[in-house]
Structure 1
Amino acid sequence: MNKQLTPAALFALKEALIHIYWYKKDLKSFLLKSLPKNINISKIDWDALTKRDICILIIDKLFELNNTEILLQLANDICQFRNFDHLKHLEDGDNKASKALSTVKQLKEFIIPYQEKQRAEEERQKRIKLAEERLHLFKSYQEELASLRQEFYSLVTSQDNQQRGFKLENLMNKLFILNDLDPKASFKIMGQQIDGAFTLDGTEFLFEAKWTKSLINSSDLAVFKEKIKTKLENTLGLFLSIDGFSEEGVNAFQSSDKVMILMDGSDLLAILEERISFTELVSRKKQIASREGKIYVPFSQMR
């Protein structure tokens, strides 16, 4: 905030600073706490100068150096005073306390507009910083996604089917991590092999991935369904088959209780090519299954 304080605001600041303490030692102690360390007030001849002269000297010097931020901070610290009981025990203490209260009240009237501008500027800087952080995160996300996309392209041309399956699981786990889905990589529970798991919008998902030459049929889906059924009721399954699913398999599980949703290679490619995010794709598939009873609707067919 570069705008300097007006002469009237400076006068109000001087008057308040002069009156909040009666003794110079108390004033000095306050200033040492309020002012930054690089503002050296020890060089002032505190014995020779009056309290008024000291206050005017300090504020005029800060103004001359264009230290508006320091002046505002000093004013803010002064405005924190709620009472002046420390003055009341002095001779004519009630009048001294009343005068201090009056000068601080007047200072507040001048300082409030500056405080509001300062807060507005701080909020603006926060928004700029947040936007920069989001841009950085977005660029990092894009870079990670581009890396996964190239990894997937290399898998498409791979001839090692077994290794391709393992690498697909690894790729998907990286995708879960990228989307902050609290993933768990491939694991076994009571003899059941689980390719992975993640959490989305409070729902636990078990994950299965297949990359076979044939379409996934009802028997493959039945095995996955049994794995899901052994978990808590709110657990769902996401089955990824790069080459898709047989019509017979989809129909068999579309007519029963729906505990899984299905995605294929075209869905994964849509994610990796940034046509839709993974979380949005899964959320839309879940919504379609809930509203329309369809567990397999590729991204290209979504309305």
Structure 2
Amino acid sequence: MGKQLSPTAVMALKEALCSVYWYKSDLRSFLQLCLSNPSLLSKFNWENYKRQIVSDLIDLLVGSPDKYIGDLTKICYELCKIKDFNHLKQLDDGTSKVERARAAILQLRQLVEPHQDIKREQDEIEKRQEIAAKKLRDNVAVRQKLEEIRMRYMSLIGASNAQTRGFELEKIMYDLFELFDLDPKASFKNLGEQVDGAFALEGTDYLFEAKWQKELVNKADLAAFSDKVRTKLENTLGVFLSINGFSTDGVAAHQAGGASIILMDGGDLMAVFEERIDFVSLLLRKKRYAAQTGNIYLSYFQMVAAK
């Protein structure tokens, strides 16, 4: 995609956003995961009509191409990857809405030459992962520290005291965030709510919560964490780590619309400890997939299987 979108492409982009995301909550969630500075969304009146919000946002981005070309490219890229419109089938006149959305995406693809952009972004992702992997291999001190953290984690597997295990897991994750230069903050309380930690990555603030319990983390646990995230600034997302995973109904309920959290499990954590992927690449892959599909729970093993 060039330095500027053509007027026709701008109209196609607006139409695609309005057609694919029928509800404003879904639209906002998608944009929050795409924009480099999600707080930009707070500039708009979300009580307004959806089409007006989309028009105002895209006009703002197009009006400053040097500043927002990356955001425009990201939005176009993620939209053009969409192939599943099942979420629209459930609506009244769903078949018509699906066809309209599919046609809008097709027109956008034709106008912004997405294949070139997709190839470029894929190359950039692979290059970044190669650089991260090489950095990890070459940095003996980092690998030694990662191994030390891994051993501390492994020592907790047989621990019988769940409270102690949970507390130690928080400290392990703090050290992992620090190792990958994520500016971590330890657990804190805010107006009576407990937050296990926080960190920052590429201009986005993340709240973090971890659970190590026999039961799958359920819908109520995810709802409580989502509420904590939603009360923070617009550019805040959440990462929930459940060593033993999440209930199917819990995941489904929290990716239905307006999701602001990303999920990790013990398999993801072990992939990082075993140097199969670095933590930053893992998180960015999860965030990108959530923006593209609405699915907030993509495990490392699913990433590998999809290759």
Q: Which bracket does the TM-score occupy, shorter chain normalised?
A: 0.5 to 0.7
1:223 maps to amino acid: A
Structure 2 residue runs of 5 or longer lacking an equivalent are 1-134
Corresponding residue of 1:248: 249
Which residue in 2 is equivalent to 1:161?
162
Look up the SS of the partner of 2:298 in the other structure: coil
Question: Is the aligned partner of 1:286 residue 2:287?
Answer: yes
1:160 positional shift: 1.3
SS at match of 1:233: coil
- State the distance in 2 between where 1:218 and 1:212 align: 15
Separation in structure 2 between the aligned mates of residue 172 and residue 136 of structure 1, nearest angstrom: 21
Paired position in structure 1 for 2:145: 144
Offset of 1:292 from its aligned partner? 1.1
Aligned counterpart, 2:94: none
Stretches of structure 1 that go unaligned for 5 or more consecutive residues are 1-133
User: 1:137, CA displacement in angstroms?
Assistant: 6.8
Question: TM-score, structure 1 length as denominator?
Answer: 0.55
Residue number in structure 1 paired with 2:265: 264
For the residue of structure 2 that corresponds to 1:156, the secondary structure is: coil
- Distance of 2:298 and 2:137 partners within structure 1: 33
AA partner of residue 292 (structure 2): R
Aligned-residue offset at 1:135? 8.2
The one-letter code matched in structure 2 to 1:219 is A
Equivalent residue letter for 2:167: F
Partner of 2:71: none
Q: Is 1:180 the equivalent of 2:170? A: no
Change (3 A) 1:232 1:135: closer
Deviates more, 1:154-163 or 1:215-224: 154-163
Q: Secondary structure, in 3 states, of the residue corresponding to 1:193?
A: strand
Which protein shows a greater Rg?
Answer: 1
Q: How far 1:174 moved relative to its partner?
A: 0.2
Can you list the C-alpha shifts for 1:187-238, whole angstroms capped at 9, x where unaligned?
Answer: 0111110000000111100000000110001100000011001100110000
Give the 5 Å matches for 1:1-303. Answer: 138-302=139-303, 303=306
Cα distance in 1, alignment partners of residues 198 and 236 from structure 2: 10
- Residue-pair matches, total: 170
Distance (whole Å) between structure 1 residues aligned to residue 160 and residue 192 of structure 2: 29
Higher RCO (C-alpha 8 Å, min separation 6): 2
Percent identity, aligned pairs only, is 52
Q: What is the root-mean-square deviation in Å for CA atoms of aligned residues?
A: 1.3
Is the contact between residue 136 and residue 143 of structure 2 (CA under 8 Å) also seen in structure 1? no
CA distance in 2, matches of 1:219, 1:135: 38
**Counterpart-to-counterpart distance in 2, 1:252 and 1:136:** 40
CA contact (8 A) 2:214 2:244 kept: yes
